[in-house]
Structure 1
Amino acid sequence: MKVPVVSTINGPAQGSYILRGLAAAARSSYFKFTVGCVLIYVVMEVCFDAKGFNEVDVSKVLGRFSIAENITEAQAQGNNGIVTRNQTNDIPGVPADVLSDNIRINSSAGKLCPLIPPNLVGYIPTKMDVPSLEAVESEFPDVMPGGHFRPKECTSRHRVAILVPYRNRAEHLKIFIYNIHRVLARQQIDYGVFVIEQGDDKEFNRAKLFNVGYLESTALYDYQCFVFHDIDLVPVDDRNVYTCPQQPRHMSVRIDSRSGVPYVLMFGGVSALSKELMLRVNGYSNLYWGWGGEDDDMTFRLKHIKQTILRRPADIARYTSLKHTQSKKNAGRHAILKKWKERYTKDGLNSVKYKIMNLEFKKLYTWILVDLRDP
């Protein structure tokens, strides 16, 4: 601030001018002091956990912002949503949303896992010759009973429930369970695998089993997000990290040699939702008995709350399909789908009825046998 020259002013005018100058200086100092306090507060909030007062490495905090800029740059440059090695520090090609998901860190105390899991290798071919799950349990010593895994070396940034509807697919079950752990254990996520088996004799109700899986898994653990997973789809690239998405994520973009999806609103196969979104749309509909319709119903629910379905690049979001006979189609699915809007607030998590017939924590998964018939 330029200091006024007062020696050339005499008498009362001089005193008045001095007072005005001092007032201006005071206002300026107060402004600087206020700004300084705000900046100090921001730095303290960023660098320290106010509740636990756990010190954070400032370089890591600053690194988050540079990585966030890299994400924006990757998306702006049209790199298919991939962050490449020259955009981050020696990071293999991974979807940009892996970084953005990981920046929204888990609030748990402890050493957080790296933004990019260090053990990712990319393509992992599906192992098809799995003799039995009992025979391969020793290959997964770090998987806890119930198929629950969490990294020992750090605190995971995501708590993820893998929900798998099931009936009469014993051969698929052992292949899926074996291979899903081979891939997910490399991603440093805190995950549990739930196989929800329909034990009654009614037509298969995939969506209702998802609702059961959601309710039963959240009763056991504080999961943040959910991957709704067909048992006949096995991930083959560990860069397709099962992180918790901010928006709905359709994950099975490429199946076998088929690249892309049949239609843009598709949400079937393998999809992920946060707990918040699952609650906002009231879960899946319980009305779809037989094949088809339930995924489109969920898509309409998500669009209704102004959500956009996101997808990763097809060369990463790829899966092997296990051969199977398609279930009987639901002839009435189109009529049910037409009325999705008038019933979605009362048809879903808040209306699902079922009976638990058995629940067992097997070594590599939690098995929930359920009767879906109304009591």
Structure 2
Amino acid sequence: MTRVLLVCISFCFVTVFLVRLLPVNSEECDCLRADVHGSPFYKDSFKDDGNAIPRSKDGHRLAILVPFRERFEELLQFAPHMKRFLASQDVDYKIFILNQVDRYRFNRASLINVGFLFVKSDFDYIAMHDVDLLPMNPNLKYSFPKDGPLHIASPKLHPKYHYDTFVGGILLVRREHYEKMDGMSNKYWGWGLEDDEFYVRIRDAGLKVSRPENITTGPENTFSHIHDRKHRKRDTEKCYNQKEVTRKRDRETGLKTVKYRISDVRQLTIDGAAVTVLNIHLECDHKSTPWCDCSGSKK
């Protein structure tokens, strides 16, 4: 009887050991997948270097939304830099890389709309954040914007854009304010102007943009702009009637009308900095925005 028992125990041990050695098919594992209509299943256990991220003292949670496509060199710098930069700030945050994987032209605004819908049940404010703009001055605070949108990349501080209505680069927005404005327009395929349209939405919603105060650095040393214009050219092409339509306030599209599919959600760690990657397929209404694909247009 004892010999039989020992054989059974040995068999079980060997079986478990061999199973643990078998490769895991990521397509069959739900551990990193998400409910595409809301937050990921692991929403209550956000991790950073294996340790749970504590809530900030004020109880607010920040989702840093980073529109993204084929900017891996910038991402390798961005993620660890933001981890170091925010380490001394009392901010409960998570970085979400909004990776556009469809065949259409890049649509920054729609990606932010998708990211917001994904995180809104667990985070009460967002940072609309360019991957190539790194904050350098430690006095730039990513704290909860109590009154209205907080434009961290102020035109007085941004290395390139200096007009008063500029709200691009890094903008913090409360959840209820983003919903009040119906998010951003979905008509901006290609590079540029979606931030200018969003400024009009902020104004029409009766909100006021605030900017950092008492910052002693200037445009040359407040941020590091790591975009290489020669190596990574922006998609500035205008086709069909794009130029005419995108110069107007869009009252037709926004957060409620964005059409998309999230194919999968992945966790990625870069030099100790944890990010969540959403692989996003945007949909295009070719009747209203044929410029989502300029390949068939007449030059």
The TM-score normalised by the length of structure 2 is 0.68
Q: Is 1:251 equivalent to 2:152 in the alignment?
A: yes
The one of 60, 63, 72 aligned to 1:170: 72
**Please, which of 222, 228, 235 is the counterpart of residue 324 of structure 1?**
228
In terms of fraction of residues, the more helix-rich structure is: 1
The unaligned stretches of length 5 or more in structure 2 are 1-45, 286-299
Moved more, 328-337 or 186-195: 328-337
1:285 and 2:178 equivalent? no
Query: Could you say which structure has the larger radius of gyration?
Result: 1
| Structure-2 residue corresponding to 1:204 | 106
Q: CA deviation at 1:148?
A: 9.3
Amino acid at match of 2:275: Y
In structure 1, the partner of 2:257 is 351
Which amino acid in the other structure matches residue 358 of structure 1? D
Q: Does 1:308 align with 2:217?
A: no
Cα 1:216–1:150 shift into 2, 3 Å: same
Q: Stretches of 4+ moved more than 3 A in 1?
A: 145-152, 154-157, 254-259, 313-317
1:284-338 residue CA offsets vs partner (Å, 9 max, x unmatched): 1111000111001100011112222221145368211113234111525542334
More contact order relative to length (CA 8 Å, sep ≥ 6): 2
- Over the matched positions of the two proteins, sequence identity in percent amounts to 30
Which segments of 5 or more consecutive residues in structure 1 lack a partner in the other structure? 1-142
Partner Cα separation in structure 1 for residue 178 and residue 58 of structure 2: 22
Equivalent residue number for residue 139 of structure 2: 239
Question: Where do 1:120-159 residues align within 5 Å?
Answer: 144=47, 150-151=53-54, 155-159=57-61
CA 1:349–1:146 in 2, change beyond 3 Å: closer, same or farther?
A: farther
Answer yes or no: is 1:337 the counterpart of 2:246: yes
Per the alignment, in what secondary structure is the counterpart of residue 362 of structure 1?
Answer: strand
- 1:361 maps to 267
Identify the residue that residue 92 of structure 2 maps to in structure 1.
Answer: 190
Return the offset for 1:217: 1.6
Q: CA RMSD in A?
A: 2.8
SS state of the match for residue 164, structure 1? strand
CA contact (8 A) 1:225 1:274 kept: yes
CA change 1:209–1:370 in 2 (3 A) is same
CA contact (8 A) 2:158 2:223 kept: no
Report the equivalent of 2:21: none
